[in-house]
Amino acid sequence: MAEKVIDFEVPIKVLADEYPDFVQIMYDLGFTKIKIPGMINSVGKFINLKKGSRAMGIPLEKIANEFSQRGYTIKNYEQNK
Amino acid sequence: MFDDSFSSVDVSEITSAERELIANGLNPMEIQNLCNVHAAVFKGSITDNQTTPAFQKPGHPVSTMKLENLVITSLINDELLPCLKKWQQDGKNEKYLQRMRSALKDLLKIDKHYTRKENLIFPLMDKYGITAPPKVMWGVDDEIRGWIKDANKMVNSKPLPDKYEIERSIEKATKEVLEMIFKEEEIMIPMLDEVATPEDWYAIAKEEPELGYTLISQPLPWKPTAEEIAEGKKKQPSSVAQELNQMAMNLAKTQDLKPKSESKPKKKMSVHERIAQRSKTEPTSLEFPSLDSINVKFDSGTLNLAELTALFKVLPVDLTLVDATDHVKWFSNSPDRVFPRTKAVIGRAVVNCHPPKSVDKVKKILADFHAGTSQKNEFWINLHGKIFVYIRYYALHDEDGNYLGCLEVTQNVTHIRGLKGEKKLLNG
């Protein structure tokens, strides 16, 4: 199986298209607006996890931990932004 | 010559901004910050007008938005939060509490910033098929308004609530305000940059003064240069814009934007009734008395275009017409409307023009009108405790009973409610 990679600098839409469980994980992390129809197809193209973390006030570390635990490799993530 | 006129405006602009800020209660220490911003903004436009990106030019809606955000950020980080901290450490110091009060009072003015965004920028996003994000953002704007009001109430109540409650409340409000600034600048503006043309921004810039500003004075008027307009044409349509437009069109298809009453007219009259009706009233028609004039011939008389225009200006009610597909079609632009409307609202889906908390009510009224189960509805509110506003909604139908749309009639009835006794023409 190919390696699953969460790149913190890639648009969220790309990740959502690639990984079927991405949206639910994000929702559970507190990105509750992600499931509203039309959000991923608009905002999702302009926002990556680094921006999303700041916009929603959800720490990068929390996001990275959750995806690591789910078997993802974390890329372009530095804690000291 | 250009430089001369600009540099003189620059100075007066800054000084009037300073005066206003001080009058509004902003700590003079913040003014320095603002001056630097102003200076930076103006420097760009004076020394290098041709190559300054339009977004950075004074008066461009994006520049105005960012300038306000800078002042708001400074108000929070350089005044409100430091004062909160110092007051926390020494709870008896009235001076810091007083400064927190005045900073929160200034922060309440963020309402203008959000109102401009909701009434001018959101319609632009709508136009390019970006419909979900503005709805979400409007909901958050309203929450933030509420949190600031809560915090403001707390620091002004007697006896003063618990210190930690005040701290929590202020920290919540300010955190959300700063996050919203990030969303506006890092997400919303880049999205708009993909799709909006210089003409779009110009249309917004022209309407901004009417809605007002947050903690800054009215910026210089901005107009796109010929080069910018040409450049905008080149970039259009970008791939993202095309995609978003496609999305909007698909959405329109699935929502079936045909007038709903066309498919199932609820109030249709029988042929007999219709003929009886027709014999009584003549259908409205157009008359062309000369090559350059048009009259609208109603059953009860004829009006020319000048008369029609003048009539809507003086009618003592504000009218807004929403068509059969629930999109805003027209409003009467009388000079002193109770609720100002901007031209950007025309063509918008009516559900997108209301704060999320009142959307359900609006939907219900329209659904009842479409279904024919109700023909009118009314509300009355006491605006700021001063103006009594009476708002009525009517379902419009054509002569055959087909649904045409909804007419909103808003009226300031304060004067009417106060009338006593009689005043007759005859009494002289």
Domain definitions of chain B by residue range: 2-244, 260-418
The encoded tokens of residue A81 equal 């932004």
Among B80-89, B289-298, B404-413, which is the least confidently predicted range? B289-298
Assign domain B2-244 to its CATH superfamily.
nmb1532 protein domain like (1.20.120.520)
Average pLDDT on B378-391 reads 90
Average pLDDT on A27-32 reads 94
What CATH number does residue A29 fall under? Answer: 1.10.3910.10
Q: Do B133 and A42 touch (CB under 8 A)?
A: yes
Q: In angstroms, what separates the C-alpha of B98 from chain A's closest C-alpha?
A: 29
Q: How confident is the model at residue B258 (pLDDT cuts 50, 70, 90)?
A: very low
Q: In angstroms, what separates the C-alpha of A53 from chain B's closest C-alpha?
A: 10
Can you give the residue range of the structural domain that contains A69?
A: 5-75
The predicted pLDDT at position A3 comes to 86
pLDDT of B324-358, one tens digit each?
A: 999 999 999 887 888 878 888 888 888 888 888 88
Among A62-71, B10-19, B146-155, which is the least confidently predicted range? B10-19
The predicted pLDDT at position B340 comes to 77
Q: How confident is the model at residue B263 (pLDDT cuts 50, 70, 90)?
A: very low
Contacts A38 to B, Cβ<8 Å: 130-133, 247, 251
β-strand pairing of B318-323 with B328-331: antiparallel
Q: Do B247 and A55 touch (CB under 8 A)?
A: no
Average pLDDT on B244-256 reads 58
Among A62-71, B29-38, B80-89, which is the least confidently predicted range? B29-38
Domain count for chain A, please give it.
Answer: 1
Which of B122, B126, B136 to probe by mutation at the A interface, max A CB count within 10 Å? B136
More confident residue, B316 or B91: B316
**Fold designation for B260-418:** Beta-Lactamase (3.30.450)
Instruction: Tell me which residue of B7, B17, B129 sits closest to B64, measured CA to CA.
Output: B17
For A75, the 3-state DSSP assignment is: strand
The predicted pLDDT at position B36 comes to 47
> Residue B401 and residue A5: Cα distance in Å, rounded?
60
Among B139-148, B175-184, B337-346, which is the least confidently predicted range? B337-346
Q: Do B132 and A38 touch (CB under 8 A)?
A: yes
The predicted pLDDT at position B72 comes to 96
Q: Do B131 and A38 touch (CB under 8 A)?
A: yes
Residue B42 has pLDDT above 80, yes or no: no
Contacts A39 to B, Cβ<8 Å: 132-133, 136
- Flag whether A81 is in a domain: no
8 Å CB contact between B83 and B103:
yes
Question: Looking at chain B, which residue has its C-alpha nearest residue A51?
Answer: B186
Which of B127, B183, B351 to probe by mutation at the A interface, max A CB count within 10 Å? B183
Q: How confident is the model at residue B388 (pLDDT cuts 50, 70, 90)?
A: very high
How many contacts, defined by CB atoms under 8 Å, are there between A and B?
A: 46
pLDDT of B76-113, one tens digit each?
A: 999 999 999 999 887 678 899 999 999 999 999 999 99
The alpha carbon of residue B72 and the mean position of all alpha carbons in its chain are separated, in whole angstroms, by 20
Q: Do A38 and B175 touch (CB under 8 A)?
A: no
Among A45-54, B263-272, B318-327, which is the least confidently predicted range? B263-272
If you ran DSSP here, which 8-state letter would residue A76 be given?
S
- Flag whether A11 is in a domain: yes
8 Å CB contact between B71 and B214:
yes
- Flag whether A80 is in a domain: no
The encoded tokens of residue B186 equal 């890092």
